[in-house]
């Protein structure tokens, strides 16, 4: 074998090794489904959850408190937490990159980043949208969020505490223009076990518009 052949063989091996390293690198997007684009929900999600939340005693007490005073919902002050926004039947846009997933929500014009190259902070103060990280399980995009302020999961008064952990699993269906979103709710304070809801979204040509929420500070004062 000539020196030229040896050199060519080494180059091929190096190229194969480099490709393998890229494939197993977290966030590498080759051959992954492309979720980029604007998505519109099929159906009216919050009304169609056919799941009875497995309330703990604390969760049931929080739900009954909402029943007694539904105007105490922070949504009347234009304050919406993560699940309330992500499962609402309003448009959202996904921008998929190698190291992050960017999500722009029409609801409350929230912007969310889920990083593929870093972990969740160990000790973080809670925010409305929390902190998110992304991973791949085969062709399923998994986004995990924590550090979320206490609030309600839906307009029908399903409460969650600030111990909430949310796992979203997005799977592209065969048509390449429909995705299934499984939202797993894990709140050890308000629920006795994790539970989930699944919604479907279609890719659309509509654009995300600005959202205009009018706070009503007088509500809940009486």
Residue 134 sits in a domain whose CATH number is 2.40.128.20
Task: Identify the residue whose tokens are 């992304």.
Answer: 134
Is position 217 within any domain?
Answer: no
Q: Identify the pLDDT of residue 220.
A: 46
Q: Identify the pLDDT of residue 80.
A: 85
Of residues 124, 126, 118, the one with CA closest to residue 101:
118
Task: Identify the residue whose tokens are 């065969």.
Answer: 174
Is position 103 within any domain?
Answer: yes
For the four alpha carbons of 107, 111, 197 and 81, in that order, the dihedral sign comes to negative
Residue 12 has pLDDT above 90, yes or no: no
All residues at 6 or more sequence positions from 100 whose CB lies less than 8 Å from its CB, including other chains: 27, 113, 114, 115, 116, 117, 134
Q: Identify the pLDDT of residue 14.
A: 53
pLDDT-derived band at 25, boundaries 50, 70, 90: very low
Percent residues over pLDDT 90 in the chain: 48
> What are the tens digits of pLDDT across the range 151-204?
999 888 899 999 999 999 999 999 989 999 999 999 999 999 999 988 899 999
Full residue range of the structural domain in which residue 195 is found: 37-204
Is position 180 within any domain?
Answer: yes
Within a 10 A sphere around the Cβ of 169, how many other Cβ atoms? 17
Is position 4 within any domain?
Answer: no
Distance CA 167, CA 205 (A): 27
Is position 123 within any domain?
Answer: yes
Report the mean per-residue pLDDT for the chain: 82
Within a 10 A sphere around the Cβ of 100, how many other Cβ atoms? 17
Q: Identify the pLDDT of residue 10.
A: 53
Residue 19 has pLDDT above 60, yes or no: no
Residue 124 has pLDDT above 90, yes or no: no
Q: How many domains does the chain have?
A: 1
Is position 20 within any domain?
Answer: no
pTM: 0.79
Is position 111 within any domain?
Answer: yes
DSSP 50: -
Distance CA 28, CA 129 (A): 25
Residues 174-185 as b or e (16 or more Cβ within 10 Å = b): eeeeebebebbb
DSSP 75: G
Distance CA 104, CA 88 (A): 13
Is position 168 within any domain?
Answer: yes
């Amino acid at each position: 074998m000539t020196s030229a052949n040896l050199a060519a063989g080494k180059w091929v091996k190096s190229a194969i090794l480099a490709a393998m390293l890229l494939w197993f690198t977290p966030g590498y997007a080759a051959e992954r489904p492309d979720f980029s684009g604007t998505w519109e929900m099929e159906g009216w999600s919050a009304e169609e959850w056919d799941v009875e939340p497995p309330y703990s005693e604390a969760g049931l007490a929080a739900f009954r408190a909402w029943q007694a005073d539904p105007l105490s919902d922070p949504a009347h002050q234009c304050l919406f937490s993560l699940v309330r926004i992500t499962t609402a039947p309003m448009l959202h846009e996904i921008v998929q990159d190698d190291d992050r997933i960017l999500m722009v929500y029409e609801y409350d014009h929230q912007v969310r980043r889920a990083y593929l190259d870093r972990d969740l902070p160990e000790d973080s103060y809670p925010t409305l949208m929390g902190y998110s990280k992304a991973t791949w399980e085969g062709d399923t995009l998994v986004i995990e969020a924590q550090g979320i302020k206490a609030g309600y999961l839906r307009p029908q008064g399903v409460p969650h505490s600030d111990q909430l952990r949310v796992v979203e699993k997005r799977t592209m269906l065969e048509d390449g223009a429909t995705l299934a979103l499984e939202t797993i709710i894990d709140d050890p304070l308000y629920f006795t076990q994790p539970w989930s809801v699944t919604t479907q979204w279609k890719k659309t040509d509509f654009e995300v518009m600005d959202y205009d929420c009018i706070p009503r500070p007088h509500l809940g004062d009486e």
